[in-house]
Amino acid sequence: MLVIEDPDAIDSTHEAITRVGARFSIAHDALLNNRSHLDDALEHYLDVLFTSLADFQLGGPDKEPLDDRVVGALYKMKGLRDQFLDCVDVALNNERSSEIHNVIRQFLGRSLVYKHAPRDIIHFNHLWCDHYRFLLRELFLGVIALLIKNQEYEEVNTYLDAHYLFETDRGPQTTSFLGFDAYIKTLDEFRTRRLHEQRISAAADFQRERADLNFLSFDDIMQADFLLCIRGLLHYPKALTRWFPRTLVYAEKFEKSGFDLFFSARSKGKFPPVRTLLGVKNRAELTERFAKVVAECSLTQWKFGGVPIPFERYLGLTEPVNA
C-alpha cells in the first residue's frame, strides 16, 4: 500500500509537477523545432525542475513504512523523469546536441545535492534521500542508454570523463559518474524484509516496472548499466565506490552471446564503439585489462542470489554458450 501524504505535501508536489510541466512544454517545443529561444527555454526548464525536486523531500517522524514512502515519492516523480528523458531523446536530433548535453550534464551534477542531507536539518535520516538516489541513478542511466542507442559514442565518453559539481554542507564537491550509482537500502532490505518477498533486488524490480517509455527499452537500460559497471572497473579499479549493475538480475538472455554492443564488436571493423566507450585499443587489451580487474576487484564474489555475474559472457569475451 502506498503512503498517503498529508494534504500540504500533496498540494506542494502537485504544484511542483504543474510548474515543471509548463516549463517542459516550452523547452520540448523549442528542442523539437529549434526555436530561437531554445537556450533560455532549456535553462528555465532545468532550473525549475532542479528547485522543484525539493518539494518531494521526506522527513520524520516515519508514521508509515519508510519503503512505502520512498515508493510513493517515486511514483509522484515518475512524470518528471519521463519528461526529462523525453527532452534528452528529442535533443539527439538537434543540430546543437553537443551544447545541449553540456547543459544537461551540469543539471545532473548539481542535482546530486539531493543525495545528501539538507543543510538546514540537524537530525536527518540519510535513508530519507533514497527516492532521490533511485531517481538520479535512473536519470543518468536513461541518458547513457539513449546515447548508446543512437550511436552517440563520443558523447557518452564525454559524460563518463566528466567531473560533476554539486554543493554539500562542506562546500562544493565533485565526483565522477560513479556518484550516480546508489544502493537503495529501503527497497532492497527494508521492503523485501517487511513484505516477506523472496526477491534478489526490489530496486531492480521497480526499475524494470518503470521502464515503460516507448523510446527506451529495459534492454537498453541493462546494457547501459553493464557498460557503466565495466567502464568504472577499468578506469577506477581502486575507487571506494563502484557501479553495481543491479538491473542485470534480468539479463539472463544476454549470457549466450553478450550484450548487443559487445556482440557486434566481435566482428571485424565493429570494435571502434567499444574502444571509445571503454577506452581500450583492441579486444586483446580489453581481455588483458579485464583479467586484472577480475583479480583486483574480486569480481567472482559479485553475485545475484548466490550466482556469480557472468561478466565475460556479457562482454562477449567467451564463445557463445550452446543452447
Q: What pLDDT was estimated at residue 10?
A: 52
Q: Tell me what pLDDT residue 28 has.
A: 97
- Residue 322's pLDDT is what? 37
How far is CA 234 from its chain centroid? 19
- Sign of the four-CA dihedral 212, 217, 222, 228: negative
Cα(268)–Cα(283) distance, integer angstroms: 11
Predicted confidence at residue 7, as pLDDT, reads: 45
Tell the burial category of 304 from Cβ atoms under 10 Å away from its Cβ (0-12, 13-18, 19+).
Answer: middle
Looking up cell 509548463 gives 22
Q: In the structure grid, which three cell numbers stand for residue 227, read together?
A: 557498460
pTM: predicted TM-score of the whole model, two decimal places: 0.93
Distance, in Å, from the CA atom of 183 to the CA atom of 74, rounded to the nearest integer, reads 15
pLDDT number for residue 145: 98
Q: What is the pLDDT along the chain (323 residues), one digit of tens a residue?
A: 333 344 444 568 999 999 999 999 999 999 999 999 999 999 999 999 999 999 999 987 778 999 999 999 999 999 999 999 999 999 999 999 999 999 999 999 999 999 987 776 667 788 999 999 999 999 999 999 999 999 999 999 999 999 999 998 788 999 999 999 999 999 999 898 888 788 889 999 999 999 999 999 999 999 999 999 999 999 998 888 899 999 999 999 999 889 999 998 888 788 999 999 999 999 999 999 999 999 999 999 999 989 999 999 999 988 643 33
Residue 52: which residues within 8 A CB-CB, separation 6 or more? 16, 17, 19, 20, 80
